Structure 1
Amino acid sequence: MSAFHPSAPATVSSDATVELQRRDWIAGLEKGLAMIEVFDAEHSRMTATEVAQRCGLTRTAARRHLLTLAHLGYVDTDGKLFWLTPRILRLGQAYLDSARLPRAVQPYLQRVTSGTGETAFAAVLDHDEVVYIARSGSQRQLNTGYMLGSRVQAHVTAAGMAILGGMGSVYRDAWLQLQTLRPFTSHTVMDKEALRQSIVRARDQGWAISEQQLEVNFRGIAVPLYDHNDSLLGAMSVTMPMNNETAEVAVKRILPVLQDTARAMRPML
């Protein structure tokens, strides 16, 4: 199981997580993956020209990459527009199937759900976003919250704040400097100093709470997840409607279950 360790800048890419020498870099692979990543909710179907503009490639190069992806089954086309196919999900599923953390954390998330009656999640940090890699909840609850693989800006989630709080100040300050804060609700924190103070608070108290930062009337409470070597792996959180429950009552009800479960998990990770 791999823990999060901020690495030094790589030779090829400044935000890479593994150092790479120029001679080992395969440009075509990088461009193909970048092409997949430019598709999103606002750009679900694009021409080769549009993909080229978003990837910084020529139209000819983008078209060749898209046709190769289409040949492999990851992209479909009507001759003008291109879009992703369900085969893309194999890439994300490969992580969920092969990584140890999603499988190891699942029974503990079920324990949190049983103890709180709320939907529980496990998340890891991927640059400026958290990615939800496991979840547990009743059928009634599964229509709320994040789906497996959901990616959300880290600073608007309790899980993200808990992870950032668990990191060193050098990484945390560098991370904050690179962020462009944007509002998701009228409550979203837009001041970097205020955000830094919230992250430091999460570090000092060992847990994080996020209220209405991403969605109105929703609250999240999270604790960082460490392995038996004290390496930070991610975070475990509960997300729930605020309703008429105060933050103090919610923390008293949810936090002990999260903390006890995280402690029980630690020797097993």
Structure 2
Amino acid sequence: MQSLVRGLNVIRSFNARHPRQSLAQVADRTDLARATARRFLLTLVNEGYADTDGSEFWLTPRVLELGYSYMSGLGLPSIAQPRLEQLSRQVGESASMSVLDEDEIVYVNRVPVRRIMTVSITIGTRFPALTTSMGRVLLAFHDAARISQLLKDAELTPLTPHTKTTPQALRAELEQVRSQGFSIVDQELEAGLRSVAAPVYSPTGEVIAAINVSTQSSQYDLTELHDRILTPLLQTARDISADLSAAQLH
């Protein structure tokens, strides 16, 4: 099991900021001895999950196979994609869907219209759940004990001057999201970025995913965000939830 954990840490050390790394960089980012890191990297190369030119290593597209079984079993991304594409066309903005992984959201669908963040968002991109509209939707429907533990353990680092960083403010925000059934995050993740998110329900009534529309603050003020984006977003979330129930019947 320890070897599996170490191997996964080696894979996770590669990301958008570090797509290519030397042996020394991988060892440093994973806290592994160089000999150990080298053994894992060469195993990944031999299995086709990584490649090397002798001085640097990088992942290959085959690593996508590692998540394919989860994605296929979930069924959700393929069901949601047409709805998200329709939503994006309707509002003229990017639409996404994510699921919760501990204290982070993971993007499982993305319909980009334009790049509105300094980082590129793709399938598999992760963000802290507490500072994102989709994350707050996903967290708001957890039980109180889970939320309390998360707020206790979270590193509440301000990402912008608008970021809520106190447990009291975040708890109140999650309570409001649960009550109203959607979340609006105004420039808390990145300056100039506004997003609104809604929950997607499983056939048994659990919140299993969230969808959102993201836009620049210069495009819509908060009133316009409510008027022009919130209604179609909520309808799309209901449609995806209904599609999931219909799919289970078949």
Give the aligned partner of residue 257 of structure 1: 232
Give the direction of change, closer, same or farther, for the CA distance of 1:245–1:45 in structure 2 (3 Å limit). Answer: closer
What is the DSSP-based 3-state SS (H/G/I as helix, E as strand, rest coil) of the residue aligned with 2:41?
helix
Task: Identify, as 1 or 2, the structure richer in helix.
Answer: 2
Contact 2:116 2:193 in 1 (8 A): no
SS of residue matched to 1:181 = coil
1:215 matched to 2:181? The reply is no
Residue of structure 2 in register with 1:194 after alignment: 169
**Residue of structure 1 equivalent to 2:160:** 185
Count the aligned residue pairs: 241
Q: CA deviation at 1:172?
A: 1.3
Task: In structure 2, list runs of 5 or more residues that go unmatched.
Answer: 245-250
Number of the residue aligned with 1:70? 45
**2:248 counterpart residue number:** none
SS of the residue 1:189 aligns to: coil
- 1:39 maps to 14
Query: 1:100 Cα deviation (Å)?
Result: 0.5
Residue 94 (structure 2) pairs with residue 119 (structure 1): yes
Cα distance, 1:78 vs structure 2:
4.0
Of residues 208-217 and 49-58 in structure 1, the stretch that sits farther from structure 2 once superposed is: 49-58
Q: Percent identity?
A: 37
Match of 2:202 in 1: 227
- Equivalent runs, 1:133-148 vs 2, <5 Å: 133-136=108-111, 141-144=113-116, 146-148=121-123
**Equivalent position amino acid for 1:207 in 2:** F
User: Does the C-alpha gap of structure 1 residues 70 and 256 become closer, same or farther in structure 2, counting only changes over 3 Å?
Assistant: same
Structure 1 residue 176 corresponds to structure 2 residue 154? no
For residues 60-115 of structure 1, the C-alpha deviation after alignment (integer angstroms, 9 at most, x for no partner) is 22221111112122223344443333433443455545530100111221232243
RMSD: 2.3
Mapped to 2, the partners of 1:260 and 1:50 lie a distance apart of: 46
Q: 1:105 aligns with which of 80, 91, 99?
A: 80
> Separation in 2 of the partners of 1:93 and 1:29?
18
**What is the alpha-carbon distance in structure 2 between the residues aligned to residue 68 and residue 163 of structure 1?**
37
Secondary structure at the aligned position of 2:210 is classed as strand
Q: Say whether the 8 Å CA contact 2:197–2:212 is kept in structure 1.
A: yes
1:236 to 199, 206, 211: 211
Normalising by structure 1, we get a TM-score of: 0.79
What's the TM-score, normalizing by structure 2? 0.85
Q: Which amino acid aligns with 2:156?
A: L
2: CA distance between counterparts of 1:110 and 1:198?
29
Q: Which amino acid aligns with 1:263?
A: R
